[in-house]
Amino acid sequence: MSYTNFTFDIDIDGIALVTWDMPDRSMNVFTEAAMLELNAIVDKVASDASIKGAVITSGKDSFSGGADITMLQKMLSKFAADKAKDLDKATKVLFDNAGYMTGLFRKLETSGKPWVSAINGTCMGGAFELSLACHGRVAANSDKVKMALPEVKIGIFPGAGGTQRVPRLTDQQQALQMLTSGQALSPQRAKSMGLIHEIAEPTKLVETAKAMIKNGLKPVAPWDEKGFKLPGGPVYSVAGANLWPPAIAILRRETYGNYPAAAAILKCVYEGLLVPFDTGLRIEQRYFTEIMQTREAAAMIRSLFVSLQELNKGARRPAGMPETKFKKIGVLGAGFMGAGIAYVTAKAGIPVVLLDRDMEAAAKGKAHSDSLISDQVRKGRAKPEDKDRLLSLITPTADYADLAGCDLVVEAVFEDSGVKKDATEKAEAVLKPAAVFASNTSTIPITSLAKNSVRPKNFIGIHFFSPVDKMMLVEIILGKKTGDKALATAIDFVRAIKKTPIVVNDTRGFYVNRCVLRYMSEAYKMLIEGVPAPMIENAAKAAGMPVGPLALTDETAIDLAQKIMKQTMRDLGEKAVDPKQMALINTLVDTHGRFGRKNGKGFYDYPQKPAKKKLWPGLKDLYGQLPPERVDYEELKQRLLVTIALEAARVIEEGIVTDPREADVGSILAFGFAPFTGGVLSYIDGIGAKKFVKIAKGLQKKYGAEFKAPKLLLDMAEKGETFYQRFDPYARSEAKKAA
């Protein structure tokens, strides 16, 4: 029998080699077709007496990315369509579908023939669950090999036996840490945990796997043998008593109850270890079916997997534009931002010219890259030769003539229109006509900066976030005259340096900063009202934000907030900024010299390490403090999320962001907007426009005009629409194709 997704060969020793190599895909994934074929292969191996066992490996550089998440989306869509007719029947269908992979892997595990997984590269999710169901596991000794069960990161959990096999192979503490964090394991780490048996050199991987079968590998999983004992001891033991109560408390502390899948993992492991293995699988399947029905799972799968992948693949790239292969890139300004841009460019293997006013400043910028890559080498995440290669690609200079031949120049000089004008003119004087010029600005509209250019069609904004090496989002800003070539080149660059691009039309603050400033502003308002600072910060974290608004202001600098406020007042008038908030910031900066983390004094005090930062005690003396019992804590959480969501809705209404995928993914990657909601627009869609508008009106009545819902939301509430219905990105894509 021939297969589409696998090849099947039997050697002279009677060992079958099953090679997973899906056509027209860069990575193997579990689709319905792939699972049906694997099911047939398991039957073939089990029923053919001449076959002694089987090795499964990959014909690609990676082993597999796991389940095709779009398959899960189809399951959810079918459930959503069917549940209105018959909820019980729809749930049963979802339960059965969710259990297919579980059944397949258990069938392999109990087939009576030994199976060995030969892991040659990335092995994620369902693929690692398949490997765990095999009787032997061998991983290649390579940096390319990473094994993980990362499903919790997209709102679900390992539902094909992962929560049952991992804690039966390693101790419960390590199992819980791996399952609830989605952490990736190296071959060495996986072996030390007991999750794989051997590590082999890549060229001997399959040979080593076959040797396990030849040497008498038992075709029985440990938990199917009589007398099996859990590696870390039973749940009801001294060790269990010391583990489970703290584990539950830690999960609550880390997630604030916002991630149902993480809580379900603890339930699956705890309950599953108290019963026979097959009953444990049934428990897991029931919880998986329950989690698949949650709002969090649907939203996180869409934004953090499907939409993120689509944007990373260039969903917003203009059609028909040839892809740019970068031979040389220029960065103007070797300060912290420019140096970071140079680093990620060189890390992508692209030669970069790093220019500043003199060689000393340019060399200092290159030294930043030296520091970053040296740290990676120290931590074992890079090799000395990687460092040499990266640094060889960065050329520091003070001479604009060295920019000749650049395909793209990214300007990251001081945030001043005059300085940017000078840099633009000097760079364009030596650039080839087809080169693209990009400005990394966070506040100045691109259209106004493009007036300094002799070729505004090739002028675009590329807004990085700090620190560049860690932040995954990049805003690409279109000026009024920016052409498709410039947009395509900018997207190609962002993809080349492995960041996620979102496309934004020109406006003050663009998209991300407009939302972030609302978040900070609401916190200032709360302080002025007398809300204790710890309650503000804790409410933000409980709402799902990774960093409280006061801590975030410190990170970006309070004196920068002051500059932005003053510039806004100059540009838009005195009423554009709340005078009470301006007074708060002025007091911190001018009276107390508190600039933020950069000078060790802001809303927080930053003592010498290892001491942790703590809120500045003087904050409570600035305004009369409300007794905590008089503060509505749930309302604080609501205010912080709703004010951001309303600003995002205004941005959509104004046509600044036109694709809801970009608004959602951008809000999570840039400032960590409550990931469990799926992003800022999914947050509104999840609540429902009608209910959200009602919430906003209630807050507007109590706290002011910043909670006024835009006309777009009022219209959506009246029509019962969601953002993904009204601004369906796929309908637009199909329309473009048809045109």
Question: Catalytic residues, which ones?
Answer: 463
Is there a contact between 349 and 393 (Cβ–Cβ < 8 Å)?
A: yes
Is there a contact between 168 and 231 (Cβ–Cβ < 8 Å)?
A: yes
Around Cβ 253, how many Cβ atoms within 10 Å? 9
3-class state of residue 681 by DSSP: helix
For residue 617, which of 529, 521, 533 has the smallest C-alpha distance? 533
Q: Which long-range contacts (CB under 8 A, 24 or more apart) does 735-738 make?
A: 736/319
For residue 561, which of 519, 517, 600, 615 has the smallest C-alpha distance? 517
CA dist 451 → 425, 500, 565, 681 (Å) = 11, 28, 25, 34
For residue 558, which of 521, 594, 583 has the smallest C-alpha distance? 594
Helix (DSSP H) and strand (DSSP E) numbers for the chain? 33, 18
Cα angle 560, 396, 424 (rounded to 5 degrees) comes to: 60
Structure tokens at 672: 């960590």
Structure tokens at 83: 């549940």
CA distance 717 to 278: 47
Could you write out the DSSP letters of every residue in 542-562?
A: HTT-SS-HHHHHHHH-HHHHH
Structure tokens at 143: 């940096």
Around Cβ 242, how many Cβ atoms within 10 Å? 11
For residue 198, which of 117, 129, 122, 127 has the smallest C-alpha distance? 117
CA distance 456 to 648: 28
Structure tokens at 601: 């004094």
Torsion 194-65-55-108 (CA) sign:
positive
Structure tokens at 544: 């799902």
Residues in the chain: 739
- List, in order, residues 6 or more apart from 610 with CB less than 8 Å away: none
3-class state of residue 713 by DSSP: helix
Is there a contact between 640 and 522 (Cβ–Cβ < 8 Å)?
A: yes
Is there a contact between 471 and 493 (Cβ–Cβ < 8 Å)?
A: no
The partner residues of 614 in beta bridges, in order of sequence, read: 605
For residue 498, which of 663, 729, 314 has the smallest C-alpha distance? 314
At residue 461, what are phi and psi to the nearest 5 degrees? -100, 135
Is there a contact between 193 and 170 (Cβ–Cβ < 8 Å)?
A: yes
For residue 266, which of 279, 282, 278, 252 has the smallest C-alpha distance? 252
Is there a contact between 64 and 18 (Cβ–Cβ < 8 Å)?
A: no
The partner residues of 427 in beta bridges, in order of sequence, read: none
Q: Is the preceding omega at residue 579 within 30 degrees of 0, hence cis?
A: no
Outline where DSSP puts E strands in 239-324. Answer: none
